[in-house]
Structure 1
Amino acid sequence: MSAETVAVVVVTFNRADLLVGMLDGLAAQTHAPDAVIVIDNASTDHTRAVLEARTDLPLRVTFSDDNLGGAGGFHLGVRTAYDAGFDRVWLMDDDVVPAPDCLAALMAVDEDCLIAVREDLAGTLVEKAAIDFDLRNPLAVRPKRAAVDTVYADRASMPALVEVQNVAFEGFMVRRDVIAEIGFPDPAFFIFYDDAEYAVRARRAGRRIWAVRDAVLVRQLDFNQQHDLSGWKGFYMYRNLFVVHLRHGENALVRLKPWLITLAVVLLSPVRGGRAEAGNVIRAMASARGMRRLTETALPPR
């Protein structure tokens, strides 16, 4: 067992019943966490009652007056864990359940950045972390290329550690010296790509990120990555994808790609997406231009 301390950071919003299962999973860990920091994003269901009833976990709960989004919640949670002095921080969503030895498997690996490997309720491998996250090729519309679950048929076919290039804040573990060097998740993202952007920062700082085969995390819901690009989620998907390219594109052509995507979406809007998506992408591009630099509160602690 590692002698390092570890805090779990959980962000939740209006999913009290799923939160119960996730907290049950944390309570059953063979390696007990030293703290469970929960950020409740102004839930209006019975989340508060669920949390107040949990006397079996070392909870530290922040009830936010506003919905900070996943990015804002993880920013606040990671900062809270860092300020409290924990050696490692394990980020967790409210719709996953860790296997009893999941945390023990992670803590046994002496690396700075790790992810648990996700499966669905049927035991099928559904780990979407990219093995190749391409910010070099201007012709790659989406930077995520090969993912864990497209390279490996199942968990059994994986080696014990698989290097990945992006993460989800759903089982990601990071050491405090990484946070001290690269800073905190960027709250300005609100949702989408905040985790991918954080992984890019870690890798640019020379850290490698490893998927730990034997750290099992079970998703309670099916993946739904097909969002309405003409709705409010579409705005954040476009904008935050653009921000990743503008901040971290490895050459001028890659940094130009958001402009080309914007132009393509607008030109194709009469036959695909319509005026709503065209409006979204224009607003997204305008907003992304103002986010080329990391938000000040996400900078490394001084």
Structure 2
Amino acid sequence: MTAETVAVVVVTYNRAELLEGMLAGLAALERLPDGIVVIDNASTDRTAEVLAAATNPGLVVLRTDENLGGAGGFHLGVQIAFEKGFDRLWLMDDDVVPAPDCLGVLMATDEPCLAAVREDRRGRLVEKAALRFDLRNPLAIKPKTAMVETTYGERGRMPARVELENVAFEGFLVRREVIERVGLPDPSYFIFYDDVDLAIRARRAGYRIWGIRDAVLVRQLDFDQQHDLAGWKGFYMYRNLFVVHFRYGENLLVRLKPWLVVAMVVLLSPVRGGRGEAVNVIRAIRSARGMRALPPSSVD
């Protein structure tokens, strides 16, 4: 399987220093990628200078006219890499650096959907991918009910491979046959849950997703999942979570759960969250209703 070709797809926005380190990490891989597609989401810092100075073989850069968000960037980058005919696509944010043997370990694994396992710069396991993503139980407050980090605690306690129910676009390696069958990442998410959506589509098409313990990816930033739910990111977090429930909820009660969330947030807003979060969640449910249709399953 090592004869397969592979392209890395990177999306970046105003994080030139992180991108520079990430590109250096790709250049230091023992098994070099056959191509690198970088989508520069209209950055206004020195990202263009970093990309102009990069010497990575097979580097292709596309600078967008506007910020398409991570979802739009991955949609475009995967489409470009797919059209260039690569056998595998390795999706990557600009804030991770692979260990030198990371890509080699993944490419030696004969499975259509694989994920590297993330650690922080201190070597601690910080993999948030879900072992269980529950869209069947309407009483599950959050659908991610088990994840790698909290289940195993340390990389050494993991089996060589673990089955995942969702992934992040930080080290997700997918064969082109999967994209042919389920389609591209959905750009309408803008940020958040585009990776979850693609993973759900892949699993429902019959593919299993495996996290590979010895494929190490080092995250350069600490996780900060506590976004301001009254701010602009809060709108996307609520809206896209609702979309996932509308599209993929396995029964009526789960598909109705977003409405319960809206009611609870609005009712509690005088004592928790305030008017900003209440406005966000109402806007989110209205917008999510327009995204209930599944994205195209073909690559156009």
Smaller-chain TM-score range?
over 0.9
- 1:91, distance to aligned residue in structure 2 (A): 0.3
1:300 corresponding residue in structure 2: 298
2:222 corresponding residue in structure 1: 222
User: What secondary structure, in the 3-state scheme, does the structure 2 residue paired with 1:283 have?
Assistant: helix
Residues of 2 paired with 1:272 and 1:55: CA distance? 50
- 1:168 is aligned to 2:159: no
User: Aligned runs of 1:117-128 on 2, under 5 Å?
Assistant: 117-128=117-128
Question: For 1:215-252, what per-residue CA distance to the aligned partner results, in whole angstroms no more than 9, with x for missing partners?
Answer: 00000000000000000000000000000000000000
Gaps of 5+ in 1: none
User: Aligned runs of 1:208-219 on 2, under 5 Å?
Assistant: 208-219=208-219
**Partner AA of 1:174 in structure 2:** V
Is contact 2:34-2:57 (8 Å) kept?
Answer: no
- 1:110 is aligned to 2:110: yes
User: Aligned runs of 1:197-276 on 2, under 5 Å?
Assistant: 197-276=197-276
- Paired residues in the alignment total 300
1:151 corresponding residue in structure 2: 151
1:36 corresponding residue in structure 2: 36
The 4+ residue runs of structure 1 with deviation greater than 3 A are: none
Residues of 1 paired with 2:70 and 2:29: CA distance? 24
Q: How many percent of aligned residue pairs carry the same amino acid?
A: 70
Residues of 2 paired with 1:233 and 1:18: CA distance? 21
Give me the CA root mean square deviation. Answer: 0.9
Residues of 2 paired with 1:266 and 1:104: CA distance? 50
- 1:48 is aligned to 2:36: no
Is contact 2:79-2:299 (8 Å) kept?
Answer: no
1:63 corresponding residue in structure 2: 63
2:99 corresponding residue in structure 1: 99
User: What secondary structure, in the 3-state scheme, does the structure 1 residue paired with 2:162 have?
Assistant: strand
Residues of 1 paired with 2:226 and 2:56: CA distance? 37
Residues of 2 paired with 1:262 and 1:126: CA distance? 30
- 1:299, distance to aligned residue in structure 2 (A): 3.3
TM-score, normalising length from structure 2? 0.99
- 1:157, distance to aligned residue in structure 2 (A): 1.0
- 1:58, distance to aligned residue in structure 2 (A): 1.6
**Partner AA of 1:240 in structure 2:** N
1:190 corresponding residue in structure 2: 190
User: What secondary structure, in the 3-state scheme, does the structure 1 residue paired with 2:92 have?
Assistant: strand
2:18 corresponding residue in structure 1: 18
**Partner AA of 1:60 in structure 2:** V
Residues of 2 paired with 1:56 and 1:219: CA distance? 20
**Partner AA of 2:115 in structure 1:** I
Residues of 1 paired with 2:153 and 2:55: CA distance? 40
TM-score, normalising length from structure 1? 0.98
Residues of 1 paired with 2:218 and 2:29: CA distance? 14
Question: For 1:106-145, what per-residue CA distance to the aligned partner results, in whole angstroms no more than 9, with x for missing partners?
Answer: 0010001010000000000000000000000001121001
Residues of 2 paired with 1:26 and 1:143: CA distance? 33
**Partner AA of 1:15 in structure 2:** R
